[in-house]
Chain A
C-alpha cells in the first residue's frame, strides 16, 4: 500500500493526502469542533476570519468551522455509503447479466439503457419530488441514480471477460454461474471497478450537495456542505467566508478524489 502510494505522481500524492484528510474529518470532525454547530456564538453575522472563529461566522452568527466539521461528515459519509451501494448493485447486476441466460442480459441492459437516458439530476429531482428527502431516502435516491452508470462499465468489463478462454475453460469444467462470476471474473474487474467507485463518489458528492444547495437535499437542522452554501448565499454580495469555505471544501474533496484516481489508474496502465 505504502509502496504504491510512494510511486504515485505528485498530483496523485496531493490527492491522496486531501482524501485522507477528509476521511479523517468525517470520522473525528464533530469531536474536535470548537463550538456546538447550532449555537449562536458570534455577535457579528458573516464575520471574517479571526483567532476565535477561523473561518468567520455565518448568517446567524454561528461558527463556520464547527458547522463545516459536522457538515463534512454528512457529505462524506452519505456519499461513501451511496457510492458503495450504487457500485455493489450495478456490479452485481452486471455479473448476473454476463453469466445469466441471454434474456436476463437483454432485460437488464434494456432497463439500464432506459435509466441512463434520464439525466442524473433530472432523475434525482423527480424522485425527490415524489418521495421527499429524508436522510435514508436521499442516500437511496442518489445511489439508484448512479447504478446504471456503474452497470454499464461493469457489464462491458464482465462481458469482455466472459469471452476469455479461462472463463470458457471453467464453464467447460462444469462450474456454476456463481463460481464463474465471483471466482473467475470479479477478481479481474476489481481495479477498474475501484476507479469507477471513485468516479461515482465524485458524482454523488456533487449531486448531493447540489440538491442541498437547491434546498431539496438534507433538511434542517441537519446540514451538509451544500446546505452550508445555500444558507449563507445571501453573504455572497459581501464576499463572506461562510459561503466560500464550504464550496471550496466540496471542491477540494471532489478534485482530490479525481486526481487520485487518475494518478492511480495511469500508474497501472504503464
Chain B
C-alpha cells in the first residue's frame, strides 16, 4: 500500500521544470538569433530608402522617406521597434511589393506547411524503416548497400534530384507538369500532379539524412551492455529492437527527425525555386534578389523559429521518454 503510494508520488514536477528550462533557453536563443539577423541585414549595408526611390530621387525625398521608415534612428532603437513589430505579428512593409510583410507571408506560409507536411508523411516512415533495418542488419550486405545509397543521397545537390525528376516525369514520360501550379480547388489528380515531384525531390534528401541518424542512434544503443544481457536472456531480435533498444533510442531518434524536418523549411529553397512553388523559401530568394530587407528578415525569423521549435519538441519527447530525467 505504502509502496504503491510512493511509486505514484507526483513525478511530473521534475520533467516540467526541465521542459520549462528548455523553453526558456529556446526563447533566449531566438532573441539572440533575432539580434544576429537584424545586425547583419538591418544595420550595416545600403540604404533602403535610396533603393525604394531609385536613382532619380532627390536628397530631400530620400531624407523624408528615411524619417518615415525610421532609418534615421540609432540601431538599437530600430532593433527594438523591429522586434516589437515581429512579436505583434507586424514585421513591417515590403519595400518591393509595397504591402505588409505579414500579408505576403500569410499567403505563402500555408503552401510551405502543406509541402512540409506531405513530405514528412512520406519521409518519416520510410526513414524509420531504413534506419531500423540497416541497424538490425549492421555490417551485413543489406546494411552496406543501404549505407552507400543513403551516403550518396545526402550528398546529392537538390537541383540534380529535381532536374532528374523533371527529365523523367515531365520530359520523357510526360506524366507531370514541370511546374507546380496548384489550382484554387484542386481535384485529387491535380493535387498529386502538382505535388509529386517537389515531394520526391525533398524526400530523397530528407529520408537519407534521417535514416542515417536513426541508424546511428540505434547502433549506439546496440553496443551497450544491456543489449548483450538481453541476448543472454534469450530475447529474440524483434523484441530486442522494439522492447529494449527503441525505448532508449527515442531521444536521439526524435532529435534526428527534428533536424531533418527543419530542413523542409529553410532548406527547401532550391526545390521550391525549380518547381516555381509559391512557398516561403522561394519568397525569401526573391527578397534577396530584390534586397527587400523587411521581407527577408521576417522569412529568416520564421525559419529559425521553426528550427528551434522542432528541436524543443524533440527535447521534450526525449525528457519524457527517459525515466532518469522524467523522475528527476
* A–B direct contact (CB < 8 Å): yes
Q: Which residues of A contact B284 (CB under 8 A)?
A: 122, 125
Report yes or no: B157 in contact with A119, Cβ–Cβ below 8 A.
no
Give the contacts of B125-141 with A (CB-CB under 8 A): none
- Please give, as numbers and ranges, the residues of chain B lying within 8 Å of A164 by CB-CB distance: none
Q: B163 touching A244 by the CB < 8 A rule?
A: yes
Mark contacts of B119-157 with chain A using CB atoms, 8 A cut-off: 1 yes-contact digit, 0 otherwise: 000000000000000000000000000011001101111
Residues of A within 8 Å of B46, CB to CB, are 130
Bound: A89/B39 CA distance, A: 21
Chain A residues, Cβ within 8 Å of B167: 236, 239, 244
| Complex Cα gap A160–B13 (Å) | 31
Stretch from B85-93, B189-197, B240-248, B260-268 at the A interface:
B260-268
B76 to chain A, nearest CB (A): 18
* Bound: A30/B245 CA distance, A: 54
- Tell me if B33 is interfacial: C-beta within 8 Å of chain A: yes
Flag if A210 contacts B270 (CB, 8 Å). yes
- B: number of interface residues (CB 8 Å): 52
Q: Whole-angstrom distance between the alpha carbons of A210 and B266 in the complex?
A: 13
Asked if B304 is an interface residue, CB under 8 A from chain A, the answer is yes
Whether the pair B171, A128 counts as a contact (CB closer than 8 A) is no
Q: Is the CB of B154 within 8 A of A258?
A: yes
Interface core residue of A206, A209, A238, A244 (most chain B CB under 10 Å): A206
Q: Is the beta-carbon distance between B36 and A11 smaller than 8 angstroms?
A: no
Q: Which residue of B lies closest to A203 (CB)?
A: B155
Please tell me if B225 contacts chain A, counting CB pairs below 8 Å: no
> Known interface pairs A122-B303, A250-B157. Does A255 touch B45 (Cβ–Cβ under 8 Å)?
no
Query: Is there an interface contact between B32 and A114, defined as CB atoms closer than 8 Å?
Result: yes
Q: Would you call A45 an interface residue if the criterion is a C-beta within 8 Å of the partner chain's C-beta atoms?
A: no
Most buried by B among A111, A115, A127, A210: A210
Q: How far is the CA of A113 from the CA of B289 in the complex (A)?
A: 28
Residue total for A at the interface (Cβ-Cβ under 8 A): 45
Binary contact track A123-143/B, C-beta < 8 Å → 1, others 0: 001111111000000000000
**A216 interface contact, C-beta 8 A:** yes
A78 at the interface (CB under 8 A from B): no
A99 at the interface (CB under 8 A from B): no
Which residues of chain A are within 8 angstroms of B45 by Cβ–Cβ distance?
A: 130-131
Measured CA separation A118–B308 after assembly (Å): 9
Q: Which residue of B lies closest to A253 (CB)?
A: B155
A255 and B269 contact, CB distance less than 8 A:
no
* Contact, CB under 8 Å: B289 / A213: no
Q: Is B287 an interface residue (CB 8 A)?
A: yes
Complex contacts, B322 vs chain A, CB 8 Å: none
Interface residue ranges of B272-304 to A (CB < 8 Å)? 273, 284-285, 287-289, 291, 293, 296-297, 299-300, 303-304
* 0/1 string, A193-223, CB within 8 A of B gives 1: 0000000001000100110011110000000
* Assembled-state Cα–Cα distance A23/B294 (Å): 42
Complex partner residue of A247 from B36, B160, B285, CB under 8 angstroms = B160
The reply on A237 being an interface residue by CB < 8 A is: yes
Is chain B's binding surface mostly helix, strand, loop or mixed? Answer: helix
For window 246-268 of chain A, which residues contact chain B by CB distance below 8 Å? Answer: 247-248, 250-251, 254-255, 257-259, 262
Contact pick for B163, options A206, A236, A255, A257, CB 8 Å:
A236
Q: How far is the CB of A172 from chain B (nearest CB, A)?
A: 33
CB neighbours of A130 from chain B (8 A): 40-41, 44-46
Asked whether any CB of chain A lies closer than 8 Å to the CB of B200, the reply is: no
Q: Given A214-B269, A239-B167, do A129 and B147 touch, yes or no (CB 8 Å)?
A: no
**By the criterion CB–CB under 8 Å, are B300 and A126 in contact?**
yes
For the complex, what is the distance from the CA of A255 to the CA of B110, rounded to whole Å? 34
CB distance B159 to A247 under 8 Å? Answer: yes
Q: How far is the CB of A240 from chain B (nearest CB, A)?
A: 10
Q: Are B33 and A129 in contact (CB under 8 A)?
A: no
Q: Mark B221-241, 1 if CB is under 8 A from A, else 0.
A: 000000000000000000000
Decide if B37 touches A229 in the complex (CB within 8 Å).
no
Partner of B147, one of A117, A238, A257, A262: A262
Known: A119-B267, A250-B160. A114 touches B29 (CB 8 A): yes
Closest chain-A Cβ to B326's Cβ sits at a distance in Å of 25
Q: Does B158 contact A (CB under 8 A)?
A: yes
A121 within 8 A of B: yes
Separation of A233 and B171 alpha carbons in the complex (Å) = 13
Does B218 sit at the interface, judged by CB under 8 A? no
- Give the CA-CA distance A119 to B266 in the complex, in Å: 6
* Closest 3 A/B residue pairs (Cβ): A119-B266, A254-B155, A114-B32
List residues of B whose CB falls within 8 A of some A CB.
Answer: 29-30, 32-33, 36-37, 40-41, 44-46, 147-148, 151-152, 154-160, 163, 166-167, 171-172, 178, 262-263, 265-267, 269-270, 273, 284-285, 287-289, 291, 293, 296-297, 299-300, 303-304, 307-308, 311
Q: Which residues of A does B touch, CB under 8 Å?
A: 11, 110-111, 113-115, 117-119, 121-122, 125-131, 202, 206, 209-210, 213-216, 226, 229, 233, 236-239, 243-244, 247-248, 250-251, 254-255, 257-259, 262
